[in-house]
Structure formats: C-alpha cells, structure tokens
Structure 1
Amino acid sequence: MKNEIRTILVSPHSDDIAFSLGGTLLQDFFRGPSLMVTIFTKSNFSPCIKIPGSEKISKIRHLEDVEFADRLEIKFQSFGFSEPPLRGYSRRDIFANNDPASDPIYTKVYHALSKLIKSSECELIVSPMGLGNHIDHIITCNVCCRIARENNIRIVFYEDLHYASQLTFKQIKVRANSISPDLQPWRINITPEFNHKIENIKLYKTQARRIFQTMIKSHALRLGIENKSLRELVVPDNLFKYLLFLFTNKCVQIPLYERIWHTGMEGQDEHSANST
C-alpha cells in the first residue's frame, strides 16, 4: 500500500531545508502530509561543535533534523549517503564538478529517492536549485528533476541558502534557466515568521554559524527591497533598520521573503496564493 505523503521536501544535507524554506514551512504553504528527506547524512563536518568521529557527528546531525521536523510537525526520513569529503572529494572539487552523473553515488541516490517517491501518493517534489554548485546539491536537483519527469509529478525549486545570498539575482536566474526556461519565481512573505525561522535554524547547533544566519537574513531582506528605488534605500531611517536587522536580533518591521521557482502553482490553496 502507498503511504499518504503528498509533498516530499528534499534536502541534500541536514539544515538545507531549515535554512532555505524555514519561513515558508511555518506558513503550511505546501499541501500535507509532508515528508522531509535528507540525502547525504554520513558526515565528518561539525564546524560549530567539536565532536570526535564521523559516526558521532552523523548521529547528532540526524537528531537535529529529527527535532526540526518534530517542531514543524512533518515526517522525516534520512538516507545514509556519505558527504563529499568521505567520498574522496577535496574542498575545491566539491564545487568544481558540473557533471553530477559522473559521481558513482548518483545512481544510488536516484534509485533510493525514486523508490521512496513511488511508494507514496506524492503530488509535489520540493527540490534545491543547486545554487553554489555544491556537488551534492547538483546531484539532488538533477535526480529530483529526473524523477519528476519520469513520474509526471509537479516539482518546484527552492533557493539554496546560504549559497543564494552570495549570488546576484541575474546569476540565480541563469541557474533557473539552466533547469528549465519556463521557471518563474514566487515570493513568499515570511516577515511574521522570520524570528521563528531563525530560532529553528539554531536547532542545528553543529552548523548554525552566526555568519550563516546573517547571510540568510541578507537574502530575505534583499528579496523584500528588490523593487525599491535607491532613494528609498538610503533614507537614514531605512538604513538604520536594515543594519539593525542584519547584525542584531532586533525585530524590525521590514518585508522579508523566501523564494521558490515553479512552472505553475496550480493546486495551491488560498492561503498560499495570498502569501505572495
């Protein structure tokens, strides 16, 4: 029997969904029941907490995902695939491989995710765009696209954070066009939920460096002020509010957004439509 999962949220690593879609999920934007799947969960990377050994690091990161999913009342599943350093990648090579299928793990990821999706009533796959060119993000995006196409399932793409904050809007658009020339952006106003999003990000104690939080803030802010004139931006009061927001935990009334890319959002409910 197939399970009743309607939306599958695909995360390359622990924290990617929290970083990139934490505000959108707090609005129940996607039709549930939802399942968050983390693909690459065997890790030796813990920049914020000194933990000895890959096994312990992987276990703690897994528990961070579990707590995040519990807070958002979504289901969670973890795949056991190794992150690039454990597959023999150098730091430079992680961001230099533009051919995801050349990695031997690609086929394994494809079969595992395809089997999971076919076992559900999945109507929507929520995939990373692959911004930043991290090999795991590129593999995940490519696999999600392939599975969506083969099974005639709708797919949308989130902007991978923190990487999105380091790119121009033009660079993000170029990446979107490389996935599909028909992709269009959809902004979700997450202003009321933003502080809650940051608190949930802090669940990822192994990963949640302060600089990452600032980069996530800056992206949400620039999506909110994208269409403002230079005159509006440099008003002293506005500049003060923006800086206060970026470098403190003060709550200020400025518009903040996340963004997904889609080829048509048919089927989204009224609440979702009003989030733009």
Structure 2
Amino acid sequence: MDKPRHTRYQAVFISPHLDDAVFSCGGVISKLVEEGPVLVLNLFTRYLSGLKLHGAVLGDERHQEEADAAEFLGFESVSLHELDAPFRRDAYQRLGNLFRPPVAQDMEWLSTLREKLFALLGELDFEQIYVPLGIGWHVDHVLAHLVFEPWIDRKKLLFYEDAPYCCIPHSTRYRLNGIAHYEGGLADLSLAPSNALNAWRQAARAYGQTALMKNLQPWIVRQLAVPAVSIYLYRLMARYRNQVTMVPELTLEPLVVQIADRLGKKIDAMALYSSQFNEFFASRQDCVATLQAYADRVQGIAEAAAIERYWVPVTTSSRIDRYELPV
C-alpha cells in the first residue's frame, strides 16, 4: 500500500479504479487543487496479468495513465493495491456478474478492506471526502460505497455520481432508490419517475450509442450484441426497480456544481486514460455530447452548462449550505 505524502488534504476522493475519480469528479478536482493538496485514493488497482475483459483493459499500463492525469490536474494519487474484481473472484470473469451484488466472499472480506482503508484515513486530516454512489452497480463501485457503512464523519462526506454510468438515463434514480431517501428538483429529468418500459427503452438506446457497443467488430457481432445487451439491461433494471432502501435514516440532497469553465481540462485529463476513454467514447466530441446530455437531464433544459452532481447526507442538524465548493 502506498503512503500519502501529506497529513492534511483539502479533499480525499475514494476511487474504485484508476480513472473513476477523474471521470466522475475531474471538474471539482481541478478547482480544489487550487486551495490545497487533493488526494485520490484508488482501491482496486492490482492485476495478476494483462487482460482485456469485454472491452475493459485491466493491466499495469493503467498506473502510468493515472500518474499522467495526476500530474496534469495536480492531485496526489495513492493506491491500496487490492485486486481488481475479475482477478479477485472467478465469478466476476463473467461480464454479467460484474454488475450483480457482491458475492459472499466479498461481503465477508469487506470488514478487512474497511479496516485497512480506515487505518490509512485515520492518519489524515481532510476537509471533505468524496465516495462513489455505486451507480451502474459495478461490484467494485458498490464495495467502495459499502465500505463507508457505517459512514465516517458525515459532516465531511459527499457522494459522487459514478461516470460514465451516470450518463445512462435513469441510472442514478434506480441506484438512489435502493440506498437512500433523496430530494431533487421538479425540473430534474434524471430523477423524474418513468414507467419501467420507457425507462428501459431510454437506457438501452443510450447504452447502444456508447463507444463500448459501437467498437464491437465485426459488424455481425455488433448487431447481435445490441439486443443481447438490451435484454441484460432490462433484467438488471428489473432487479433494482422495486428495491426498497434499507437505510431509511440516510437522506441525500443534490449539490450541482457548474464546471463549464473546467470542462475542457476535465476531458483532457479523462483522455489521458486512453485504455478507458477510447472504450467509452468514440471521440472527444462524443465525450462532450455525452456530458452535455447528462447536464441537460439534470438541469431540465437544453444545452445546460456542464455540471457534476454530488449528494450530501442530511441530518436535522446539518443542511446542504455548509458545503462551500469552489465556483
């Protein structure tokens, strides 16, 4: 396990993998580094051998991508060097299982991961800590969320929306339904109720337009994959559609941060993770369009400014105005 260079940070970002913090929070990271040191703490960053699993590159070259992005944005990167899911459990070598609940061995191991992570965090002082919501249900993202139950000091805690999963329509709403009560604006189309069939159609259409699907070759494979993935997505959404939150004491409020002035820099940083960027986005223009569509849904207006959305735990003694993110 790497050791942080400082003892005090403006913010700590918990990143399931090398790239998740920048893809999800690159705009805010680029702002916070101007106020003080920022630490990105990556959890699942060890690979037993080079492997490309259904489009996802899992190999040590990703550490250089992380180093390049860290230098570019100015944050410090530290890794716990836990095994990435497909290397950790045989079950996760099947793509479908990566987006199902963690297997029993992982849930039994979670306390060990928590002890290791909290021991490191216990040696640090920080103003804020950012934790993934687990949107998209990737098992490593879900575990990165679960490790903070019970959560450390909620006065410092914010949850971020996992990108690019949050760019799929209804993905945030389906995830939030299972973990918390939440408050959102009436104009927020990303949280607006929708019947199951329409929600699935919109999500499947958006997923079918991702580079992950368009990159499939040859043509016949791509044509067969689209309906297969759509059916899988329907079943995945059905699994979580009627899920009732098991933590009713957790209420979240959205905090939308405008990053239009940082969008170019964020995308430049994202592109440094070439093994991932090229799988999720056909081009830089495609990335801009995807993030723009996400901002449009969140703010309910066409061509809304680029944004990142965070979720703040609310208690009777704390409200959202205690968070003063840079603007």
TM class by smaller structure: 0.7 to 0.9
Contact 2:99/2:136 (8 A) holds in 1? yes
In structure 1, what is the Cα distance between the partners aligned to 2:178 and 2:259?
A: 24
TM-score scaled by length of structure 2: 0.64
% same residue = 21
- Secondary structure of 1:25's aligned partner: helix
Aligned counterpart in structure 2 of residue 39 of structure 1, from 35, 39, 43: 43
2:165 match: 163
1:204 match: 273
TM-score scaled by length of structure 1: 0.75
Contact 2:16/2:140 (8 A) holds in 1? yes
In structure 1, what is the Cα distance between the partners aligned to 2:309 and 2:143?
A: 21
Question: What is the one-letter code of the residue matched to 2:73?
Answer: L
Unpaired stretches in structure 2, ≥5 consecutive residues: 1-5, 181-244, 314-318
In structure 2, what is the Cα distance between the partners aligned to 1:195 and 1:261?
A: 24
How many Å apart are 1:266 and its aligned residue?
5.2
1:194 match: 263
- Evaluate the alpha carbon distance shift between residue 25 and residue 85 of structure 1 in structure 2; reply closer, same or farther with a 3 A threshold: same
- Evaluate the alpha carbon distance shift between residue 102 and residue 172 of structure 1 in structure 2; reply closer, same or farther with a 3 A threshold: closer
- Evaluate the alpha carbon distance shift between residue 163 and residue 226 of structure 1 in structure 2; reply closer, same or farther with a 3 A threshold: closer
Contact 1:224/1:257 (8 A) holds in 2? no
Which is worse superposed, 87-96 or 74-83? Answer: 87-96
Question: What is the one-letter code of the residue matched to 1:183?
Answer: L
- Evaluate the alpha carbon distance shift between residue 107 and residue 76 of structure 1 in structure 2; reply closer, same or farther with a 3 A threshold: same
Number of residue-to-residue matches in the alignment: 242
Structural RMSD (CA): 3.2
Unpaired stretches in structure 1, ≥5 consecutive residues: 234-241, 243-253
- Evaluate the alpha carbon distance shift between residue 50 and residue 104 of structure 1 in structure 2; reply closer, same or farther with a 3 A threshold: closer
How many Å apart are 1:3 and its aligned residue?
1.3
* 1:105-147 per-position Cα deviation (integer Å, ceiling 9, x unaligned): 4233212210111011133220000011111111111113435
In structure 2, what is the Cα distance between the partners aligned to 1:63 and 1:266?
A: 38
* 1:24-63 per-position Cα deviation (integer Å, ceiling 9, x unaligned): 2222289632211110001345579998xx7xx22x2112
- Secondary structure of 2:150's aligned partner: helix
